[in-house]
Structure 1
Amino acid sequence: MACVALASLMATIEHEFLKPIPGIPLQDHQAPAQSLYKRISSLQSFLDESSGSGGAAIKDLEIRIRDFALKVEDDMEIQLSNFLLAKSRKSPTRKASRELHKTLKIAAGNAAELMDILHSIIKEADETQPSIRWLKHGASAEPLGKMVGRQRDRREIINQLTKGGLSNLKLLSIVGMVGIGKTTLAKSVYKDPTVQNHFDVCGWVTIPQEYNKTEVLGLLLRSISPGPESKTEKGKRSTPEELAKQVRTQLRYKRYLIVLDNIQEIGAWNDIQTCFPNDSYGSSVLITTGHFNLNLDCSFFYTHNHTHSLNLLDPNESWDLFCDIILSLKERVAPEFEKIKKHILEICDGLPLSIVVVAKRLSKCNNILKEWEKIRKEIESLGILDRNALIHYYNQLPQHLKVCFLYLGVFPKRKEIRVKKVVRLWITEGFIKPLEYDDFENQGYAYLKELIDRSLVLICNWSSDGNIKTCRMHSALHSFCVGESQKEGIFCAINTLEHPELPLSEFANSCRWLSLYTHSFDYYVLYSTNNPRSIFFFDDDPKTFVPFKLLRVLAFVPSPFLQRVSMHLGDLVFLRYLSISERYDGLGDIVSLLLNLQTLIVSSNEPQIEAPTIHLSPKIWELPKLRHLELGDMYMVDPPSVVKRKLQTLCSVVDPTTHCWKEVYFRCPNIKELKIFYKEDLEEPNHNTFGNPIILDDEYYSLQHLERLTISIWVGRIVTLPEPCMFPLQLKKLTLSGTNLSPTNLTVIGMELPELRVLKLENALSERVWRVAKGEFNELRFLLLEDNRLEQLLVEHRSFPSLEHLVLRVCWCLEEISVEFAECFSLESIELDRCNPSVIASAKLIQKMPQLWRGSLKLKIDGTEYFEPQSYTHAGESAEEDWP
């Protein structure tokens, strides 16, 4: 796990020495730190090139690099911590500075020795085995055999292969994670009589574990032309060029279907695709792969390119497959299976391979319930997938993605993960290296997208602005991820259910990432000289004490835990990320001491409408590296007295009786996301809900980087927006709650915000009728209305020309959805929650309207999907998206 150790060490050096906090005298240490950083970068490049390669010497060197990086980071941060604490307490710093300098110089020398060893290994490899220096191994997966719940997928692919007459070559891809049934589905399609009769020649080749061009072309030739492999001289093996020529000859002037099973790398595709003639006979190539974005070079050659994504089975499909396997092996389905049905479905998590393996094992035992407990513990601990196949996928990842992938194991199994949170954690840990023209957040999102494209991470929900909102790792991949991290001593997941009173010191000293959540796998660790850097709380507060000195992440911390250890929090000189799961009165005293803090988040499951607001000290603005400050509806802070150019996110309460945030907008010019809660302090003696009307700030316009704005009003007085519109023109997402929007306000928003993609209005309208004219909201994709007073939504012809999703909540007085919404060419879904029955009837009427310019319209009523019969006939329907 050298990639994790090196990434962490490089981030620490860069964060603490190359970009130090202003006022911290570390100039004398920058030269040895730069020398060390340069040599570590060379070691990291070596790992990038040798990823997944065999060889005992390379493996041994990777272990030495890991141990070196972990020890250096420990020694360096301990000495730096002593130096910073001495300075903060105004104690002598000379000795601590001298020890720190010595540690950096020794580390740079040791890194140079590792580089010498590296060069000697590379030289020896070049001289002895140059052809297999960085050999990577492929993966093979046994077909599942049974196919349940894939009939729609099967029909669509067959239709794609056989529809149309004579045309250029088609390319179809079946994509999905390991064990999801790509090969099984492809075989079912391949053997279908309709497909066999449609094509003159059919061929199938599975890309072997160790890809070899000559071998693969030979397999392909034998598949389409059984008999001698080549027509060359007897005893002479055909060259790749000769085999490719024979393949082209066999396929020329014929309608053919070629299936390439398990394509994982672009090199194999580039070798094989040159064999396929394009004779305009309606031929097709079908590939199976785990990679959604292989960047196949085919735009000039193929007239049709279709990607078919395989989703996990739903509970009914999973149980049908399980019972089908049991019945194929036994005479009947034992009633004991019903007792453990729920647990079987949870463990298998919709993955066909898991279902098949569990069913086969249970079918062979007499005591089903006893055997199931054994199987359950084994699967939760080790997973169900072939480890060699997963190692192949893992080894194909570049180093920066390996680290990000392993980090997902800190989240509990089957838990949805907020993308925004995990990207910020990656940034905090130093895993994100942004390009010159991009920022950290965008680059982190690109990293996540690449893991999704490789079928290693699943999308759960999309946000209203079209980005991925939540994701998760499949339980089988999670087991692999946790196992890889734990066996190297990087990660420890402590079962808080079984060990609620466990002292964590012994565990915390054996890992970099410590996660507290309920699980059923056994804890083990082989490497035990590390100190924790990140701690995650996913369960109720365990009554434990954790060593804090070198922590950089404290995530999802319960308030009782902070109260118990508050006297130690001031020593966290390296803490960069702090998120608290509930309000904590002593927060202000803590954060003002954390000079390295980048992210502070306070969250709560319930709105704190009646709770008094906590006023934080303005010292929080003195934190030099602060990027994200999310205080929710619980905290209020005065405007900053200094310019905060790094601040990108701000979420806080504003007192409407005294607020003056013009200084905030002036001194935080680079804010991208702003959430303001207007809330009066209910404990104030002069609180008066019937005071003068409140007119909101007119200074938002000055925030030239603002993209997402939320304004929530929790006061008992009339609140209005100034006119004309004060919002910045580049605004993409606007949420208004409790405001008093006039028709003029709405018209201005619709006409003067050209980039607006998302609009959410929650009891925000002053009138009972909203009339939307042609030319308003031209770029709006998502519209949410939650208003129990709204009676009419009048839409003119061609209003909302780009609208994709319409959500209506608690619209009891609304009479109907205007039929003009049917003319929104881009409309994909309508969601209704607690709406008038007449509104539901009008939505169903719109869904039935024949619209030749679009596919079927999805309709969700109070959380349940509603389909018209004809909507089932549309091919290519994807999984439903949850739009919050």
Structure 2
Amino acid sequence: MVSIVGMGGIGKTTLARTIFDDPLIVQNFEIRAWVTISQEYDMRETLLALLHVTEILFGKRKQEDSANNVAKLVDIMSKHSDEQGKGKQEDSASKFVKFVEAMSKHSDEQLGEQLRKNLYGRRYFIVMDDMWSSKVWDEVRKYLPDTSNKSRIVITTRLSNVAVNFDSDAPHEMDFLDEDKSWSLFCDKVFLGEACPLELVEIGKQIAQSCKGLPLALVVIGGLLAKSQRTIEQWKDVAENLASIINLGNHEQCLKILALSYRHLPIHLKPCFLYMATFPEDCEIRISRLIKLWIAEGFVNPVVPNSLEDIAMEYLKELIDRNLLIVRQQGTLGKMKSCIIHDLLRDLCLREAQKENFLCITKSLIVHGSCSTILPSEIWEMTQLRHLKFENIVLPDPPRHSHLVDSQDSYILENLCTLTTVENFKLTEEVVKRIPNIKKIKIAYRNDFKGSKLSSYCLENLARLSKLESLALDMKWSKENCVGNFALPHSLKKLTLEGCYLPWEDMRIVGSLPKLEILRLYDRAFVGNVWNPSEGEFGRLKFLQIRSTNLEYWGAENTHFPSLEHLNLSFVYLQELPLGLAEIHTLRFIGLNYCSESAVNSVKQIREERESLGYEDLQISVGY
């Protein structure tokens, strides 16, 4: 079993046909058969097509074909033209129709058993082209005998999850052509083996690159240019209207082939795929953002006990398995971070979306403004709201409806996960009750508040948000310690503090957080000359960044930061870094930007000390 996998138009069938017609294959296999599996798969037609070949070859039915002829399966489902010409195609098709009529009295099982007998003991090479479901293989495999005689079966499919279901080696995944191969294929189609005229090379390469390595697009455009005038003006016109040329007129075959992938999508994936048209061409799409948008649009169906995010991620994986989306970036642990969609598939999304009145794309996907957005009180009644993200927003107090029975429970935003960036957010008991499952908050306290301690903003209630994982507090315009008695929830994994002017003694509030992994301290988040961490603090902290502080002495030991991996200091004028950092075996990177020379020298000493302890090399980055 050999599986060839890739998106529509990438060349799977062409590769399989090249192998099928190779002289070595013709010489070494007694039987060669090619069958195209349509989306509306019919088991009986597949068996009849395969059986017809073996009947012709071995004279099970008397045919006029000579025994020395290489049998060619005429697949009535195939959309590809027969190179032998229309006359021979019609003749072979009529023979196949007569064969089908003669077999009409036999059941599918009888046809399959006859096929198995014809193949048994003989070396065969079968191509099953464009397979959409592993069910096809499950039904046919019992009639394809394995007698260890080096017979081969080749499967082509657009669906990666189908390919991995076969008892075969790892699938051969078709990739896009690079620039050189794209140019070579383009020239073959346009000039039929001749060299490209020098005056057309530059514009020709521009056209070839615009096809983004998709062979189908190169073939379609190449076929058009082969029949057009070879002038710079004509080719420039093609380059400027590439998408419309591929999508419209006599060249719709390209989009029709790609449209098969869309039509075969399950109903729950179609809106997710069409939504990709909202992103600009060549846009690298952050997967975390895409999932939030799908959920916000209502495309993701809830399935207990999975979260909507988990279900949306499964949707995404399905589209990737179908080669409709391409993973662009992966994290260090293999987690997908971003994806892209090929321009032609995006054009397909646009066409289908407009046809179905799914959405309308304009060129005017952005509004910029520096003012804060004041939201209406009705925002507290949007119980399905999941992510509220603005540059700057002002949230009103929750409405009170005393005439309603149990009215407060009616407006709890149980689904709200993200809330950014809220100005002068009053975390009253009433507000905290309404956002019980919030995971991410960013709050900015501007310099227009009254009072120096922010007591009316109830920051101590942060500790009551038991699901909160990421918190950012921006107070950079306060210029004084105005946080007051604030507390933090033990669920925090990521914390960013800016301009809080807290004394380093209050760092115990942060250090005691049991799950904290990322800590960013910006623009005098903490002030004072000395920071002495306490024993047992920062047990899980992996990333620490400090920018702009008057800290001069840091009395850290390896026991204070046992899990630290990344340390970044900017505009921090420490006399030296704690030598105890050398004993933190997890530490991999220290970055210093605009720090003192003595601090830089102490980092070098830390690296030497680590080497003497036998730890892995420490990466150091210094900038001024």
TM-score by shorter chain over 0.5: yes
How do 1:9-20 residues align onto structure 2 when only pairs under 5 Å count?
A: none
Matched, 1:398 2:208: no
1:312 maps onto 2:179 in alignment:
no
- Residue 427 of structure 2 aligns with an amino acid whose one-letter code is P
Q: CA deviation at 1:308?
A: 2.1
Q: Show the counterpart of 1:211.
A: 41
Structure 2 match to 1:675: 494
Task: Pick from 354, 359, 382 the counterpart of residue 217 of structure 2.
Answer: 354
The Cα shift of 1:711 comes to 1.0
Match of 1:578 in 2: 388
Structure-1-length-normalised TM-score:
0.51
Aligned to 1:187: 17
| Cα distance change on mapping 1:296 and 1:187 into 2, 3 Å | same
What residue identity is the alignment partner of 2:322? R
Q: Distance in 1 between matches of 2:149 and 2:435?
A: 66
- Contact residue 633 and residue 677 of structure 1 kept, 8 A: no
What residue is the counterpart of 2:186 in the other structure? Answer: 322
Taking a change above 3 Å as real, the CA distance of residues 252 and 340 of structure 1, as seen in their structure-2 partners, is: closer
**In the alignment, which residue of structure 1 is the partner of 2:518?**
710
In structure 2, do the counterparts of structure 1 residues 659 and 265 end up closer, same or farther at CA, with 3 Å as the change threshold?
A: same
The corresponding residue for 2:461 is 640
Aligned match for 1:699, one of 512, 529, 534? 512
Q: Take 2:248 and 2:420, find their aligned partners in 1: how far apart are those partners?
A: 33
Matched residue SS, 1:350: coil
Alpha-carbon spacing, 1:371–1:396, altered in 2? closer, same or farther (3 Å) = closer
AA aligned to 1:749 is S
Q: Which amino acid aligns with 2:9?
A: G
User: Which residue of 294, 297, 300 corresponds with 1:432?
Assistant: 300
The partner residue of 1:631 within 426, 442, 456 is: 442
What are the residue-to-residue correspondences of 1:152-301 with 2, within 5 Å?
171-193=1-23, 201-208=31-38, 210-223=40-53, 226-227=56-57, 235-237=102-104, 238-294=106-162, 298=166
Distance of aligned partners of 1:767 and 1:217 in 2 relative to their CA distance in 1, 3 Å threshold: farther
Aligned partners of 2:326 and 2:339 also within 8 Å? yes
Give secondary structure in 2 for the equivalent of 1:494. Answer: coil
Counterpart for residue 394 of structure 2:
588
Cα distance, 1:449 vs structure 2:
0.8
Kindly tell me: are residues 415 and 272 of structure 1, through their superposed partners in 2, closer, same or farther at Cα, counting changes over 3 Å?
same
- On the 8 A contact 1:579/1:602 being kept in 2, the answer is yes
Alignment correspondent of 1:365: 228
Which aligned pairs between 1:559-570 and structure 2 lie closer than 5 A? 559-560=369-370, 566=373
SS in 1 for 2:102: coil
Q: Which residues in structure 2 correspond to 1:332-351 (within 5 Å)? A: 332-333=196-197, 335-339=199-203, 341-342=205-206, 344-346=208-210, 348-351=211-214
Equivalent residue number for residue 467 of structure 1: 335
Q: Could you tell me how far 1:614 is from its partner in structure 2?
A: 6.2
State the match for 2:426 in structure 1.
617
Structure ID, larger Rg? 2
TM-score, length-scaled by structure 2? 0.70
Deviation at 1:380, TM superposition (A): 7.5
CA contact (8 A) 1:725 1:749 kept: no
Deviation for aligned residue 1:795 = 7.5
Count the aligned residue pairs. 525
Deviation at 1:471, TM superposition (A): 1.0
Secondary structure, aligned partner of 1:737: strand
Of 277, 284, 291, the residue aligned with 1:423 is 291
Q: CA offset at residue 206 of structure 1?
A: 2.0
Structure 2 counterparts to residues 459-498 of structure 1, below 5 A = 459-496=327-364
Question: In structure 1, how many angstroms separate the alpha carbons of the residues matched to 2:51 and 2:388?
Answer: 60
- Distance of aligned partners of 1:387 and 1:320 in 2 relative to their CA distance in 1, 3 Å threshold: closer
2:76 equivalent in structure 1 = none
Structure 2: 5+ residue stretches without partners = 63-98, 400-410, 447-453, 548-553, 571-575, 594-599
The aligned amino acid for 1:395 is: R
The offset of 1:439, in angstroms, is: 1.9
Query: What is the distance in 2 between the residues matched to 1:741 and 1:322?
Result: 66
Question: Residue 305 of structure 1 aligns to a residue in which SS?
Answer: coil
**Helix, strand or coil at the partner of 1:618:** coil
In structure 2, how many angstroms separate the alpha carbons of the residues matched to 1:192 and 1:207?
Answer: 22
Q: Is the 1:601–1:630 contact (alpha carbons within 8 Å) kept by the matching residues of 2?
A: yes
Aligned residues of 1:404 and 1:431 also touching (Cα < 8 A): yes
- Cα separation, 2, equivalents of 1:184 and 1:255: 23
- In the alignment, the residues of structure 2 paired with residue 337 and residue 213 of structure 1 have an alpha-carbon distance, to the nearest angstrom, of 49
Native 8 Å contact 1:694 1:718 kept in 2: no
Distance 1:399 1:253, change over 3 A: same
Say yes or no: does 1:598 pair with 2:408.
no
Secondary structure of the corresponding residue to residue 412 of structure 1: coil
Whether the aligned pair in 1 keeps the contact of 2:246 and 2:252 (CA below 8 Å) is yes
Give matches, 1:79-98, under 5 Å: none
Partner of residue 736 from structure 1, selected from 540, 544, 562: 544
Give the drift of 1:181.
Answer: 1.0
| Unpaired stretches in structure 1, ≥5 consecutive residues | 1-170, 497-515, 517-536, 542-557, 604-612, 682-686, 751-758, 801-805, 814-833, 835-884
Q: CA deviation at 1:718?
A: 6.1
For the structure 1 residues 333 and 211, does the alpha-carbon distance in structure 2 shift closer, same or farther, using more than 3 Å as the test? Answer: farther
State the Cα distance separating 1:473 from its structure 2 match. 1.9
Contact 1:205 1:220 in 2 (8 A): yes
The one-letter code of the counterpart of 1:744 is N
Q: For residue 658 of structure 1, report the CA deviation from its aligned partner.
A: 6.5
Whichever residue aligns with residue 354 of structure 2, its letter is Q
Distance in 1 separating the partners of 2:461 and 2:290: 28
Q: For 1:309 and 1:715, how far apart are their aligned partners in 2?
A: 50
What is the rounded CA distance, in whole Å, between the counterparts of 2:502 and 2:460 in structure 1?
24
1:664-697 Cα shifts (integer Å, max 9, x gaps): 315xx5x6xx33223336xxxxx799x7795562
- Distance (whole Å) between structure 2 residues aligned to residue 231 and residue 639 of structure 1: 89
- Cα distance, 1:491 vs structure 2: 0.8
Q: Is the contact made by 1:569 and 1:590 (CA closer than 8 Å) also made in structure 2?
A: yes
Superposed displacement of residue 649, structure 1: 4.5
CA shift, 1:320, in A, is 3.2
Local SS of the residue matching 1:205: strand
Q: Structure 1 residues 646 and 395 mapped into 2: Cα distance closer, same or farther (>3 Å)?
A: farther
Provide the rounded CA distance (Å) in 2 between the counterparts of 1:437 and 1:797.
48
CA apart distance, 1:263:
0.8
The CA deviation at 1:452 is 0.9
The answer (yes or no) to whether the contact 2:445–2:475 under 8 Å persists in 1 is no
- Distance in 1, matches of 2:157 and 2:6, equals 7
Given that residues 159 and 323 in structure 2 are in contact (C-alpha distance below 8 angstroms), is that contact kept between their aligned partners in structure 1? yes
- 2:58 & 2:123 partners in 1: Cα distance? 23
Cα distance, 1:179 vs structure 2: 0.7
Q: Which residue of 2 aligns with 1:748?
A: 562
| Identity within the alignment, % | 24
Which of 639, 642, 665 is the equivalent residue of 2:489? 665
